[in-house]
Amino acid sequence: MESRNNRIFGLVVTFLSILLIGLSYLYFYYTSENRSLRSKLTALSLVETQVYDIESIDKQIEDYKNIDEAIKNKYDEYYSNIAKLEEKITKGESSVKIAYLTFDDGPYDLTYKVLDTLKANNVRATFFVLGKDGVEDRYKRIVNEGHTLANHTYYHNIGKGLYDSVDGFISQVDKLENYLYDITGYRTTLVRFPGGSPTAKGLKDGIVNELHNRGYKYVDWTSETGDGSSKKLAQKDTWAWYQDTTRDKDIIVLLMHDYNYSTYNNLQRIIDDLKARGFIFLPLHNKSIMAN
Ligand SMILES: [Zn+2]
């Protein structure tokens, strides 16, 4: 009797052992199957992402092939948005104000310091330059540091031939354009008339027509530090000019000269003051409503 019970017990234990081994096997089989299924799914989703990536990479490669075009398009988009902001400001629909700082007649030695101050403040400005030898590094710095390099004619010879004829004026714009392009690889799109556009008198319309034919616009100014009249203006005078001519304006084009220490010594104060009054600083561009 006892030995029979032992045999039955043995059989039950053997049966249970086999069952346990069987179940363990099934468990491991299915979980590993699951795991491999899951890893296949992950791989598949990666492939999907890669297909998407390949499409966007193709587009990027297309951009790289036409990199000048792509950069130009980006700038166009950026400047169009600024033009929209300008319109909002003029309609009183924006609390933002825009300051276009402009420096004429350079580059000079002082241009280095002006560039340093702008860089330290993360401010972009515009330089209406002339044609000069030995200042190539300054033209390059202006472009490389994100400022607008703009055309102020090669010689700036007001009263000595500049405004004798439309062709004469345009030849100086072309001469400077070619000179700057050789040095920087950058094409200018903005011109400032030496002395301002009224100085061209009866030639103005003819010159503007020719400028437009070449894709240029011209920019005068709304405000100034008065430093063009004398290099010896006291610092308090350029400050007073600045305050008087920027009052009650939401978009300003501030005329300064990067040869004048009187202006330079106020530059940090001007930047701080404009910031405190809610202005942002932008480089000029030919989609601006300030460009004609
Ligand atoms: Zn000038």
Q: 1 falls in which pLDDT band (50, 70, 90)?
A: low
* Residue 38 belongs to a domain: no
Triad 112, 117, 122: Cα angle to 5°: 120
Domain assignment present for residue 60? The answer is no
Q: 185 C-alpha to center of ligand 1: Å?
A: 23
- Residue 24 belongs to a domain: no
- Which of 104, 105, 227, 258 is an active site residue? 104
Q: Within a domain: residue 79?
A: no
Q: What is the pTM of this model?
A: 0.79
Confidence class of residue 94 from pLDDT cuts 50, 70 and 90?
very high
Q: For residues 99 and 279, is the Cβ–Cβ distance under 8 A? A: yes
User: 279: CA distance to ligand 1 center in Å?
Assistant: 25
CB neighbour list of residue 270: distance below 8 Å, 6 or more residues apart: 101, 225, 239, 242, 254
**Statement: residue 91 has pLDDT above 60:** yes
Average pLDDT over residues 9-21: 77
The model's confidence at residue 66, banded by pLDDT at 50, 70 and 90, is confident
**pLDDT, tens digit (0-9, with 9 covering 90-100), for 183-221:** 999 999 999 999 999 999 999 999 999 999 999 999 999
Pick the catalytic residue from 147, 156, 257, 285. 257
Q: Is residue 259 part of a domain?
A: yes
Q: Give domain status of residue 83, yes or no.
A: no
Look at residue 21 and tell me if it is in a domain: no
220 noted as active-site residue = no
Number of domains into which the chain is organized: 1
Domain assignment present for 168: yes
Across the chain, mean pLDDT equals: 91
Is 133 a catalytic site residue?
no
In which domain, by residue range, is 124 found?
96-281
End-to-end CA distance of the chain: 117
pLDDT digits (tens, 9 = 90+) for 132-157: 999 999 999 999 999 999 999 999 99
- Assign residue 138 the CATH number of its domain: 3.20.20.370
Q: Which residues pair with 190 in a beta bridge?
A: 217
